[in-house]
Structures are given as structure tokens and as C-alpha cells.
Amino acid sequence: MPVTSTPEDEVVSITADLIRIDTSNFGASDETVGEAAAADYLAQRLIEVGLEPEVIVTTSDARRAVTLRIPGTDPDAGALLLHGHIDTVPAVASDWSHPPFGADMDDGYVWGRGAVDMKDMDAMILSVIRSWARESVRPRRDIVVLFLPDEEAGGRHGGHWLVENRPDIFTGVTHAVGEVGGFSITVNDDLRLYPIQTAEKGIRWLTLRAQARAGHGSMIHPDNAVTQIASAVARIGGFAWPRRRTRTVDRFLQDLGEAYGIEVDMDDPGPLLERLGTLGFLVGATLQNTANPTILTAGYKHNVIPGTATAGIDGRVLPGYEEEFEETIRALVGPGIDIEHETVDIALEAPLDGPLLDLMASVLRAEDPGARPIPYMISGGTDAKAFSRLGIECYGFSPLRMPADLDYWRLFHGVDERVPIEGLQFGVRVLDRFLRAC
């Protein structure tokens, strides 16, 4: 591919290149193979401009990460970790209007799986770093660039593996910047909110297991594993979790209310959430713990009562309310059913104020005078969970100016994922300003 001279040109072509590499993460399946190709692509693009990245094989040759440290001019300044994941969730091509791995450019967008989660940010990072290499730019503080596999399946083959096996990568790192934040929400022509992720819920992926006596389906059979597991799932799915307040969400709601001119009732923020469209569902999930049944497995034949039935639960916990979650789930499940924790990961909450957030605000306003950054919590999880275990303060800041009528949150893991070309170019300018001033 021809080398272009500006990050704004490169970010579009690199985003398209990355989308064309199918990095669908199917977990431990042999189908999860594209991360290696994407890692090699990223490394090669860094080598092209004279840099010396390291490609790291994590748990198998198919799972690879890429890292690079850019030395800063101030040896006393803490290093900044700049990270992005290269895997995506799968896509069913027949559901899409554009091929999910075609990277079509149409109607001002680049279309494809990963366009906003998060190959756009990977491309921004790569474009800025390549530009710096050509211009011999040195930042004030060390910047550690890290492209990761396996974020979409919990990071056990990526971020968590690196924290446990390659702690040298994180030497001196005090802050980290990754997904999901810095995107615009249009309030009016003169005001756009840019949520900066300062917190995220923890993960509790559970398997419930009921075991009972197997038998013939035609008989009276009160001891039925399917009935037991179905009852437990119904209790969990129908439970109304109490609202809980955290400092990040309180601040977010207050800032939203001010922007929309609404008096916010912290005990009943429903009217405000309705103004946010799809984002309101995410914000609502950060006001409480959640547990959603996602999998049911039992039996193999109509006339055989199975001896075992299982269910999968996707639990998400607020910072500080982990114990309440565990106690509530145990009470809802009831006796006689085992609870297995498949994936457990921490909730986190970074400071809501400070020089780094002030800098994010200033570089956003430099490119968009109508920008107003505000902190917020996401209901999902990111690789920040791994890095925060090292005491690193983690933020989500992958800047994008989005069209006012684009339902951004439906694009994540959704059909017809796409990113606006002008938004990409805006983002790479903001990221360049931010990293130069760090």
C-alpha cells in the first residue's frame, strides 16, 4: 500500500486494511486465527517507518500482541500506556447491507466489523506513531503502544496474560488510554458532549448447574433438573436490582442534566435517560448490578428426563457492590444448585479530575469549540481491567466526532457497524494533539 504523508489520510486506509483482516474471536475455537495476521500487519507498518516493535506470542501462535515503547524527553515523568485490541466479535454476513470484512467506503463511512470496536482507534494510534517516526517527534513522557488479542473474550490470552507474564512492558506506566470514550453526543448545534470513560463494571460470568435423578419422560418425576434450573433462571431474570449510586455516575447525570437543562432527580433519572436514546440503556445499567440469563442447556431426547441442566448468566457489578451481587445471586438461585464462576473480573473507577482529563478536554475543544467532556461509566469491560491490577489509572479516550443522527451504541457488536471518515480524521487530529502534549 502506498505510504501517504498525513495521519488523516493514513487513518482511513489503515482502518480499512484492519477491517479486511477477519479477527473474529470465537474463544478457544480453532476458528480464532486472524489476530496473528493483524498483529503481523501492525508490526510491519511500524517497521516500515524505522521503528522496532516486538511481536509477542501469548498462549499460542495464533494469539499475538504487538508492543513498542517510544522514549520521552522527561525521564521523571510516568509513562503512558496507549492500548487497543485487534480482535472483534464475529459477524453473520447475510445480516449486513455491506460485507462485514469488506471495508466498503460508502456514504461517508468505512463499513465493517471492528469499525468502532476498535480498529478505528488502532488505526488512529498507528497513524500518529508512523507520522511521529517520519518527523522524529519525541513526546514528553514515555509512551508504551500495545495492540492486544482476545479482549472480546475476556483478555486471558491478551491483556491479563501480558500483565502476568510480561510485566516489564509496563515499567514506569502510571496512566493508560484505550476504549470506550471521547465520542460525541450532539445536544445542539453549539454543544456536543464527549463522555470520557473513567469507570467500568466488573464481570461475573456464571454457570448454574442442577443435578437430579434421570428418568423416563412419561413418569411422575418431581426431582427434575430442568425444572430446577428453569426456576432459578426465571428468578434471576425477573429480579429488580436496587439502584446504587457511584461517584462517576452521579457526576455524569449531573453534567447531562445541566447540558439538557433538566433538573435531575438522582433517585429517578428516568426522564433524563429517555433523552439519550440507546445510550440511556447503557447509563441505566450503570445505576445497578445486572444479571442476565444467556444460555440454557439440558437433555438430549424428548422422553428422557436428564440428570443435569445448566444455565449461563452474564453478571455485571458496580464498583463497591460486588458482595451484594454474590449474596443476591446465591439467594435467588436457592439450594441444590451449584454456582460456578467462569469469568471474574474487577470493577474499576479512576479519578474524575486531574491533568490528564484536563488535557483531554483542551484538545477536544481545540478541534471542536462546542465540545464538553464529561466522565462516565460503561456497563461492559475492557482491557483496562488487566492494567488496573498494576495500579495504573485507566481511561477510555478514542476520540470521534459522530453525526448527530447516528445511533453510535447500536454499532457496537451490531449489524452494519461503520465509522464516519470525517470522524476518523477528527479523531486522529485530537489524538495527535493529546499525545504531543502528554
Domain ranges of the chain: 7-180+382-437, 201-342
Report residue 87's pLDDT band, with 50, 70 and 90 as the boundaries: very high
- What is the reported pLDDT for 137? 95
Q: What mean pLDDT do residues 118-133 have?
A: 98
Question: Rounded to a whole number, what is the distance in angstroms from the first to the last CA of the chain?
Answer: 31
Model confidence pLDDT, tens digit, residues 357-390: 999 999 999 999 999 999 999 998 999 999 999 9
Q: Do 58 and 65 touch, CB atoms closer than 8 A?
A: yes
Least confident of 2-6, 103-107, 300-304, 326-330: 2-6
Q: For residues 6 and 391, what is the distance between their CA atoms, to the nearest angstrom? A: 35
The pLDDT score that the predictor gives to residue 397 is 97
User: Residue 3 pLDDT more than 70?
Assistant: no
pLDDT value for 276: 74
pLDDT at residue 88, as a whole number: 97
CATH class of 7-180+382-437: alpha beta
d(CA 351, CA 112) in angstroms, rounded, equals 34
Strand ranges inside 173-245, DSSP E: 173-178, 185-188, 191-200, 202-211, 215-216
Q: Please give the pLDDT value at position 380.
A: 86
d(CA 409, CA 292): 19
List of residues 6+ apart from 9 with CB closer than 8 A: none
pLDDT at residue 54 in the model: 98
**Cα separation of 241 and 222, whole Å?**
31
pLDDT at residue 371, rounded to an integer: 97
The confidence score (pLDDT) of residue 403 equals 94
Query: Residue for cell digits 461492559?
Result: 380
Q: Enter the CATH code of domain 201-342.
A: 3.30.70.360
- What does the pLDDT read at residue 1? 45
Enumerate residues 6+ apart whose C-beta is below 8 A from 3.
Answer: 10, 48
Mean pLDDT along residues 314-336: 97
**Quick one: average pLDDT of 389-414?**
92
Residue 154 reports pLDDT greater than 70 = yes
Q: Looking at residues 1-24, what average pLDDT do you find?
A: 87
Arithmetic mean of pLDDT over the chain: 94
Place of cell 483531554: 360
Query: Does residue 284 carry a pLDDT above 90?
Result: no
**Sheet with 105-106, side-by-side order of all strands:** 105-106, 109-111, 418-420
Q: Look at residue 312 and give its three-state secondary structure.
A: strand
If you average pLDDT over residues 335-351, what whole number do you get? 95
Which tops the pLDDT comparison, 283 or 298? 298
Answer yes or no: are the C-beta atoms of 248 and 238 closer than 8 Å.
no
Grid coordinates standing for 278? Answer: 440507546
The answer on pLDDT for 2 being more than 60 is no
Q: Which pLDDT value is given to residue 325? A: 98
Tell me, what's the pLDDT at 277?
Answer: 73
- Which secondary structure element, helix H or strand E, spans residue 58, and what is its range? none
Q: State the pLDDT at residue 142.
A: 97
Helix, strand, coil tally for the chain in percent (to 5): 35, 25, 40
Residue-wise pLDDT for 34-85, tens only, equals: 999 999 999 999 999 999 999 999 999 999 999 999 999 998 999 999 999 9
| 145 Rama sector, left if φ>0, alpha if ψ -120 to 50, beta otherwise | beta
Which pTM was predicted?
0.92
Give the pLDDT mean for 395-412. 91
